Amino acid sequence: MAEKMSTRDAYGKALLKLGESNPRVVVLDADLWTSTRTQKFREQWPERFVDLGIAEQNMIGVAAGLALEGKIPFASSFACFGARGWEQARVSVGLAKVNVKLAFTHGGLTVGEDGASAQMLEDIALWRALPNMVVIVPADGVEGEKATLAAAEHCGPVYLRFGRSSEPLLFDEGYDFRIGKAAKLRDGADVTIAACGIMTARALEAAERLAAENIEAALLNVATIKPIDVEAITEAARATGALVTAEEHQVNGGLGGAVAEVTARHCPAPIEMVAVDDTYGETGTPDELLEKYGLTVDAIVEAARRAVARK
């Protein structure tokens, strides 16, 4: 069985490395340090950790102030709660171009039994709408750790979306993560699947199933939603003539929308989108929810068939 890790665990692991290597890194949390995996950083460097309590708007303002004083703050919360600070992030982080990292966990349906109010499905749309904001959705624990380290090196605002559930590791330690670059995991001539987060592993399985039907699917892991890899997506659209996007997010404003914007401008092609169809979630196990809301291997396979038929 493939080794598994949640991307929130990878975030906590990366923070420990940053704590050792970069004294400018500080961590802020909104009373969720056990769940966001910032606890070990808190224990190791208490003087560089601030618990702001259930006050996410204030947390983002404090993070902006620390960044202006030369620190590299990682502001941590659940994705659904961190969105409360969007206005503060818009003005104090995005407009001001300050070096704040928003590291929010528990994104998507796989929050599971916590229910609709905690299943953040709109965050990619929210954060990618902000000028100057980098938006990253890692596919596995290796990418989650490397994305966190890369965010610390990047000068400017970054939104990192991490998940609760443990997912298979797709990459090894030699994987070269770069902000703004998609990773091609599979070649194919008939259709391109562009995926992010937990859907990348499912897209890989879907591509293998499609190959048994003589449909060769290329696979792009598009971890950086913004700035999106225009060159890779345009090249894929030209090479295969059809695309499928797969994400654990609303169909509105997420990866699918970002890919469609690129192809509309550079190389129009049929696109099918596997995403939550403009609705809220509900209480259930992660697997039950993914099945009910159509975020499955079967759904990606069906979408690829439709995209190929439209060529």
pLDDT at position 152: 98
SS3 label, residue 64? helix
Q: What is the DSSP letter of 84?
A: G
In this prediction, residue 275 has a pLDDT band, given cuts at 50, 70 and 90, of very high
Residue 256's CB: how many other CB atoms inside 10 A?
A: 24
Report the phi/psi class of residue 206: left, alpha or beta, with left for phi > 0 and alpha for psi in -120 to 50. Answer: alpha
pLDDT at position 195: 98
pLDDT at position 292: 97
Which helix (H) or strand (E) segment is 299 a member of? Answer: helix 297-309
In this prediction, residue 303 has a pLDDT band, given cuts at 50, 70 and 90, of very high
pLDDT reading at 229 higher than 80: yes
Contact, 158 vs 151, CB < 8 A?
Answer: yes
Q: For residue 43, with 0-12 CB atoms within 10 Å meaning exposed, 13-18 middle and 19 or more buried, which class applies?
A: exposed
Nearest Cα residue to 132 out of 155, 152, 150, 160: 155
pLDDT at position 236: 98
Residue 215, amino acid: I
pLDDT at position 206: 98
pLDDT reading at 18 higher than 60: yes
- Read off the pLDDT of each residue in 118-125 and give the average, rounded to a whole number: 97
Segment 42-80, tens digit of pLDDT: 999 999 999 999 999 999 999 999 999 999 999 999 999
pLDDT reading at 119 higher than 60: yes
pLDDT reading at 114 higher than 70: yes
Segment 149-202, tens digit of pLDDT: 999 999 999 999 999 999 999 999 999 999 999 999 999 999 999 999 999 999
Long-range contacts of residues 29-32, Cβ cutoff 8 Å, at least 24 apart: 29/59, 29/75, 29/76, 29/77, 30/54, 30/55, 30/56, 30/59, 30/76, 30/77, 30/81, 30/82, 32/76, 32/77, 32/78, 32/81, 32/105
pTM of the model: 0.96
Quick check: is 248 catalytic? Answer: no
pLDDT at position 274: 98
Residue 190, amino acid: D
pLDDT reading at 2 higher than 80: no
pLDDT at position 165: 93
| Dihedrals phi, psi of 72, to nearest 5 degrees | -115, 90
pLDDT at position 288: 97
Domains and CATH numbers, the chain: 4-168 (3.40.50.970), 183-309 (3.40.50.920)
pLDDT at position 55: 95
Dihedral angle of Cα 40, 166, 85, 68, to the nearest 10 degrees: 50
pLDDT at position 204: 97
- Read off the pLDDT of each residue in 84-104 and give the average, rounded to a whole number: 97
Q: What is the DSSP letter of 30?
A: S
Catalytic residue among 3, 47, 56, 216: 56
Nearest Cα residue to 86 out of 157, 164, 138, 10: 157
pLDDT at position 184: 97
Angle ∠(97,99,102) on CA atoms, nearest 5:
105
pLDDT reading at 23 higher than 60: yes
SS3 label, residue 224? strand
pLDDT reading at 11 higher than 80: yes
